[in-house]
Amino acid sequence: MGNRIQKMVSTLAVIALTCPGVGLAQDMGGAAIGADVDSPQGRHYLGWTRFVANDVLFDGQDRWRTGAIHVSVLHGYDFDGDLPQQPFGLMEYRFGGEIIAPSNLEDPAPDDRRYVSKVDLAAISHFQWQGFASQIGAGVTAIGPDTPAWRVQERIHDWFNQPEPIAAQTQLGNQLFPTLIGEMRRDIAVGQDMVLQPFVSARVAEEDVLRAGVDMQIGQMAQDVLWLRDDVTGFLHPGLEGASVSGVGFTLGMDMTHVFDSDLFPAADGLQYEDMRYRARAGVTLQVEEARIFYGASYLSEEYKGQPEGQVVGALQLDLSF
C-alpha cells in the first residue's frame, strides 16, 4: 500500500510539474481555461488544458500503457459552442509524452513488450462538416532514448524512492514518424442532459489504427463544449466551453480498434501485435463554479499476443481557478 501511495504522489507531481504555478489554474469564465478576452476580433489565443492517464491512478502498477500526458493550446475565433464551418478556424496544438513499459521495470521478462519512450506534436483543426464534429491534423511522433519521456520517469522514480526503470536500457531505438489524425463524431441529444456521441477515427504514426465507438455524456456540463480526445484512454474531455454549470457529470464510452501496422513490436522481438483491441471507460466530473475535477478509468484490452491480461488505466484532469 505504501508503494502505491508513493506512486500516486509521483503521478500528481508530474501534473504539477507540467503546469505552471500550481499546475491547475485556469479561467473558465468565457470560453476556455486561460482565455484571452481582450481579442474579440480575428484569431487569437483561446486557452489551454492538459490530461493525464496513468495506471498508477487505478491499479497501482507501472506496466504496459503505464503513463501519458498531453497539453493542448487552443487558437482561433471566439468559441460560442459551435464549431467553425471551415477547417483551420479553430486549431489545437497538442504536445504529448507517453511511457509504454513491460510489466516489470526492474527485470523485464524476455517475452514481454519492450519499453517505449514517446513524444508527439500535432496541429489539429476542429470544424463542423455535414453535421459531424470533425478534426484533421498532422504532426510528428518520436520514440527512443533521445526523447525526454523516459528521463522524466527515471527522475521521478528517483525522487520518490521507486525502483529504477532498468527496462529503459533496452528500449526501442530512435525512430521518427510523420503523423496523420482524423475523426468524425455526431453529437445526438437524448433528453435535456444526455448526449450520445458515436464516432470513427484514424491515426497513422507509430501504429496505424482505425477506431469506431460511442461515448455518452450525462449532465448539464455536456453542452457547448469543444471535446478533445485522449489517445490512450479514449476519454473525451473539455478543451473549450461556454458558461460553467456547477454539478456532477458522468461519461461512458467504448470503442474497438483495428490495427493495420505497429512499429512498437519489431519482428526481431518475436512478439505479434493484436490487430483488434477494445476499450471501455467511465468517468465522473465534479464542477463547482469555475473549478472542475475529472476522474475516470479505462479498460484496455491486450495489445499483443501472449499479454496475460488487459489493464485498467486511471485518468485525471484538474482545472482549478484561484
Predicted confidence at residue 322, as pLDDT, reads 52
Q: What is the pLDDT of residue 321?
A: 61
- Type of residue at 173: G
β 44-54/64-76 pair status:
antiparallel
Q: CA–CA separation, 311 vs 65, rounded Å?
A: 8
Q: What is the identity of the amino acid at 261?
A: D
Q: How far is 39 from 171, CA to CA, in rounded Å?
A: 46
Provide the mean pLDDT of the chain. Answer: 86
Question: Using CA atoms in the order 18, 20, 25, 28, what is the torsion angle rounded to 10 degrees?
Answer: -80
Residue 154: per-residue pLDDT? 85
Residue 136 CB partners (closer than 8 Å, separation 6+) = 87, 124, 125, 181, 182
Cell 469543444 belongs to residue:
226
Dump pLDDT digits (tens) for 86-96. Answer: 999 999 999 99
Secondary structure class of 150 (helix, strand, coil): helix
Amino acid identity for residue 226 in this structure: L
297's CB contacts (< 8 A; 6+ apart) are 57, 58, 281, 282, 283, 312, 313, 314, 315
Supply the pLDDT for residue 91: 97
Domain spans of the chain? 2-319
The pLDDT of residue 163 is 79
Low pLDDT (below 50) residues in the chain: 1-39
Of 215, 226, 218, the residue nearest 194 (C-alpha): 218
Q: By CB neighbour count within 10 A (0-12 exposed, 13-18 middle, 19+ buried), where does 230 fall?
A: buried
Q: What is the pLDDT of residues 66-104, one digit of tens each?
A: 999 999 999 999 998 899 999 999 999 999 999 999 999
Count Cβ atoms within 10 A of the Cβ of residue 74 and give its class: 0-12 exposed, 13-18 middle, 19 or more buried. Answer: buried
Multiple choice CATH, 2-319, 2.40.50.100, 2.40.128.140, 3.60.40.10, 3.30.70.141: 2.40.128.140
